[in-house]
Structure 1
Amino acid sequence: MANIKPSLAKGTRDFSPREMEKRNYIFNTLKAVFRKFGYSEIQTPSFENLATLTGKYGEEGDKLIFKILNSGDYLAKTHDQLLTERASQKLIPYISEKALRYDLTVPFARYVVMHQNEITLPFKRFQIQPVWRADRPQRGRYREFYQCDVDVVGSSSLLNEAEFVLVYQEAFTALGLKDFTVKINNRKILSGIAEVVGKPELIVDMTVAIDKLDKIGLEGVHKELMDRGFTEEDLNVLKPIILLGGSNVEKLGALKDVLGDSSVGLQGIEEVEQVFRYLRQFGTADLLDSVVELDITLARGLNYYTGCIFEVKTNEVAMGSIGGGGRYDDLTGMFGLKDLTGVGISFGADRIYDVLEELNLFPESSSVSTQVLIVNFGDETYPHALPLLYQLRDAGISAEFYPVAAKLKKQMGYADDKQIPYVLLVGEEEIASGRYSLKDMASGTQRKVSQEELITFLS
């Protein structure tokens, strides 16, 4: 058999021990914040039935779902005509019944429906697991990546939306980010704009196009809208709306004038205003003025959102969104459970990692797994060194014993490569005196300590 050069699939990555320490720092920080706000953790399978996922993300989203070929002879149930036509979309239902999950929200909706008799409403959950998208890999965008979702179902209160702003603020502040923006909009406002333009039936086409304003610019949005059935007259009405400037209050005032004849649009404005009122009542008026921004072009591009929508961007690094979400009143209805409202947000863990790395915000401790390495001086020291190793671990201290009696230089090099902060020498002299030599690898200083002093110091 010919040797195959090992390689990674595009859009995927390996993670070293140091990288995993940093990733777990992110996950653990987020989990602490989620639990603080009353959320509990669940997990769902890596793949779902294809029918569960299809039709939930819009036309463009559906194209990015990774399909899984049926096991065995997956072509057995296909017709010769389909193979001749080479029409992949027609062929998929015959050769693929499963797919890797695209996000965590739709599987969560499926979970709620299947476990509706076991959960207590409102049900507040968080979930940190990988998702897969057949997207074009680029900086900050991968085909396999982790999402960190927080959702609550069974409550229509806009207090949930206000709390999600606080979750974002607390989580990103805890991770060390100082300058970020939480953008908010409402799908009802977008529906109202489509009504005013005179194209309510093209609401999805409009939102998909204007959501790309940051990426393709006004001219690009103009061209895409024309391709999707809008006219120059429509665009003349739409352009000043999507380019609204000023403070949040000024934008809302202008929108009330523009959407005065649209009841759904006015409802969307009132929902955003209510979220802002709650934030002021929390005593976070400064947060509302400095971090939260009403962005009329924010659409999120997903069909299941029905109310407030969110997106978070850092202003310290050139990066896409590092979080987003919104309300999805009818998502569980797609699985047969009607009238159960839900709202949730997501944290883009992989992009957050890249941001923290670029800004050098990971704490030193996040890259340290072992606190102390005990040097191996040979079999005769084992009766003393091994019980000591056990006592250290029993005290909650991460400790290693070098497995062979190699040269001291080699053992020190091992500790240095692994960034182990302390090395403990337990040789004949130390055993006889009952005091060990503890070396600080950063400063190079060395001192004598007893077992009790060692445990107290490292603890």
Structure 2
Amino acid sequence: MAAKPSIPKGTRDFSPVEMAKRNYIFNTIRDVYHLYGFQQIETPSMEMLSTLMGKYGDEGDKLLFKIQNSGDYFSGITDEELLSRNAAKLASKFCEKGLRYDLTVPFARYVVMHRDEITFPFKRYQIQPVWRADRPQKGRYREFYQCDADVVGSDSLLNEVELMQIVDTVFSRFNIRVCIKINNRKILSGIAEIIGESDKIVDITVAIDKLDKIGLDNVNAELKEKGISDEAIAKLQPIILLSGTNTEKLATLKNVLSASEVGLKGVEESEFILNTLETMGLKNEIELDLTLARGLNYYTGAIFEVKALDVQIGSITGGGRYDNLTGVFGMAGVSGVGISFGADRIFDVLNQLELYPKEAVNGTELLFINFGEKEAAYSMGILAKVRSANIRAEIFPDAAKMKKQMSYANAKNIPFVAIVGENEMNEGKVMLKNMETGEQNLVSADELIAIVKK
């Protein structure tokens, strides 16, 4: 008996309806990126491991899918090395390539390799899958899509402003109500400085980033566990729990961080971004949130995260400013800022809130019933005209029983069916049936097009 087929854990098949929904998401994001002057690039699914390794920390390195070398991958390996059973060491000899973990490191590699062809500032977007050898669980997959946009080669804060406008425009088009949260790593560095724990900035930011998930007491316990003094933790409390309007928070921070040059620089940057956006009439709320730290430590300036207001789910977009993206590849001093939309989480939010437009998920709009050779030939002429009018239409390929063809139309949620028999052909018309109302009308090809388009 043939083995039952399966797919790897943490991967998924997508049905035609699911693909229609996903394409609606990708196309909406793509259209908005184009509006703001971003250009699309693609990079290979696999990169050299030398490109990927060491860019995501020890934990990230463990989550890289490595690709076994083709040919005799045992050549050059001694029996002693084989018997040592040192998986990491053997993998480095067996594997030269790996599946990309994110789109950021491949983008950095792209910028360095193509620097002579690129016009800076370079505004690029990428919508491609990435792979992580993670433990699959609800909402966490081994293969998933990222929708990134970055501007590199410019320090201007207008880039941050435009990225927030992009976020606002995309979610307004989706009709998803969101809160755009903003912070600045310089503010966090300033806070660490004034509480006397500058060398613990990473531990502090990693802990307070979890405030939403684990609560204040657990955050404080984690800070203590990392060796941060009780006095420093006490000084941190009013800052973490800062409330009020964005203007009030900024005013308080100016006082609190008055002795920290880097902290005040972060306040100044945040003030510019928030004040500029204030004049842009955003449809969604934007909030300065000091607990926002973002897990990735390469952020150096503004950081962003987007939360859906009507669904319990993690962040659905994130990003920030980084000062030396390409430095790891020997091209120092290229500043950039970027965002990434979480397509899979947006998919879940749109599903839960039933926000997909009907036209986004419906495929065929019109089906011609096939009664035989003569009728099919007549229908094909009208079908060509219908498709020229940009109506998605098809003809049932076989002269099957009417019941079977109508069941096909129902199963595919096709809203209109065209019926062509002897009488219709004699009159040069088509019987058009509205599958929702059951109403039938004898119409010309032009009338049919007008009705379906309406």
1:167-186: CA deviations, max 9, x gaps?
11111010111x21111111
Q: Could you say which residue in structure 2 is the equivalent of 1:110? A: 109
Q: CA deviation at 1:23?
A: 0.8
C-alpha spacing 1:196/1:209, structure 2 compared with 1 (3 Å): same
| Pairing 1:361–2:360 present | no
C-alpha spacing 1:44/1:95, structure 2 compared with 1 (3 Å): same
Q: Could you say which residue in structure 1 is the equivalent of 2:222? A: 224
Q: Normalising to structure 2: TM-score of the pair?
A: 0.94
C-alpha spacing 1:181/1:262, structure 2 compared with 1 (3 Å): same
The more displaced of 21-30 and 379-388 is 379-388
Q: CA deviation at 1:382?
A: 3.0
Q: Could you say which residue in structure 2 is the equivalent of 1:448? A: 442
Q: CA deviation at 1:378?
A: 0.9
* 1-structure distance, mates of 2:258, 2:61: 35
Q: Could you say which residue in structure 2 is the equivalent of 1:143? A: 142
Report if the CA contact (8 A) 2:160-2:273 is conserved: yes
Report if the CA contact (8 A) 1:180-1:291 is conserved: yes
Q: Could you say which residue in structure 1 is the equivalent of 2:94? A: 95
Q: Normalising to structure 1: TM-score of the pair?
A: 0.93
Report if the CA contact (8 A) 1:58-1:303 is conserved: no
SS in 1 for 2:344: helix
* 1-structure distance, mates of 2:40, 2:186: 31
Q: CA deviation at 1:85?
A: 5.5
The more displaced of 56-65 and 242-251 is 56-65
Equivalent residues in 2 for 1:162-241 (5 A)?
A: 162-177=161-176, 179-241=177-239
* 2-structure distance, mates of 1:83, 1:233: 53
Report if the CA contact (8 A) 2:38-2:149 is conserved: yes
Q: CA deviation at 1:344?
A: 0.8
Report if the CA contact (8 A) 1:56-1:303 is conserved: no
Report if the CA contact (8 A) 1:58-1:302 is conserved: no
- Paired residue for 1:394, among 388, 394, 412? 388
Q: Could you say which residue in structure 1 is the equivalent of 2:411? A: 417
Q: CA deviation at 1:114?
A: 1.3
RMSD: 2.0
Q: CA deviation at 1:398?
A: 1.3
C-alpha spacing 1:153/1:242, structure 2 compared with 1 (3 Å): same
| Pairing 1:323–2:322 present | no
* 1-structure distance, mates of 2:26, 2:340: 12
| Pairing 1:252–2:250 present | yes
Q: CA deviation at 1:341?
A: 1.2
C-alpha spacing 1:188/1:75, structure 2 compared with 1 (3 Å): farther
Q: CA deviation at 1:89?
A: 4.1
Give, as a single letter, the amino acid of the residue that structure 2 aligns with 1:428: E
* 1-structure distance, mates of 2:226, 2:334: 33
* 2-structure distance, mates of 1:218, 1:89: 38
1:283-339: CA deviations, max 9, x gaps?
x3x65xx61111112111112211101000101000001000011110012212222
Q: Could you say which residue in structure 2 is the equivalent of 1:370? A: 364
Q: Could you say which residue in structure 1 is the equivalent of 2:287? A: 293
1:207-257: CA deviations, max 9, x gaps?
222212222222332333334333333322333322222222222222223
Q: CA deviation at 1:129?
A: 0.9
The more displaced of 245-254 and 10-19 is 245-254
* 1-structure distance, mates of 2:367, 2:246: 56
Q: Could you say which residue in structure 1 is the equivalent of 2:240? A: 242
C-alpha spacing 1:366/1:48, structure 2 compared with 1 (3 Å): same
The more displaced of 272-281 and 372-381 is 272-281
1:416-448: CA deviations, max 9, x gaps?
100111100111111111111000111111101
Q: CA deviation at 1:76?
A: 4.5
C-alpha spacing 1:72/1:193, structure 2 compared with 1 (3 Å): farther
1:19-59: CA deviations, max 9, x gaps?
11111111111111111111111111112122222333344
The more displaced of 431-440 and 75-84 is 75-84
Give, as a single letter, the amino acid of the residue that structure 1 aligns with 2:351: E
* 1-structure distance, mates of 2:71, 2:303: 43
Report if the CA contact (8 A) 1:130-1:144 is conserved: yes
Identity of aligned residues (%): 58
Report if the CA contact (8 A) 2:416-2:452 is conserved: no
Q: CA deviation at 1:362?
A: 0.4
C-alpha spacing 1:257/1:145, structure 2 compared with 1 (3 Å): same
Q: CA deviation at 1:7?
A: 2.5
SS in 1 for 2:227: coil
Report if the CA contact (8 A) 1:11-1:144 is conserved: yes
Give, as a single letter, the amino acid of the residue that structure 2 aligns with 1:335: F
Report if the CA contact (8 A) 1:57-1:304 is conserved: no
SS in 2 for 1:93: helix
C-alpha spacing 1:134/1:206, structure 2 compared with 1 (3 Å): farther
SS in 2 for 1:10: coil
Aligned length: 453
* 2-structure distance, mates of 1:325, 1:151: 9
Gaps of 5+ in 1: none
C-alpha spacing 1:97/1:258, structure 2 compared with 1 (3 Å): farther
* 2-structure distance, mates of 1:78, 1:226: 47
Q: CA deviation at 1:410?
A: 0.6
SS in 1 for 2:399: coil
* 2-structure distance, mates of 1:403, 1:229: 72
Q: Could you say which residue in structure 2 is the equivalent of 1:333? A: 327
| Pairing 1:302–2:300 present | no
Q: CA deviation at 1:14?
A: 0.9
Q: Could you say which residue in structure 1 is the equivalent of 2:35? A: 36
Q: Could you say which residue in structure 1 is the equivalent of 2:344? A: 350
Give, as a single letter, the amino acid of the residue that structure 1 aligns with 2:94: I
Give, as a single letter, the amino acid of the residue that structure 2 aligns with 1:266: L
* 1-structure distance, mates of 2:34, 2:349: 24
Q: Could you say which residue in structure 2 is the equivalent of 1:56? A: 55
Gaps of 5+ in 2: none
The more displaced of 70-79 and 114-123 is 70-79
SS in 2 for 1:97: strand
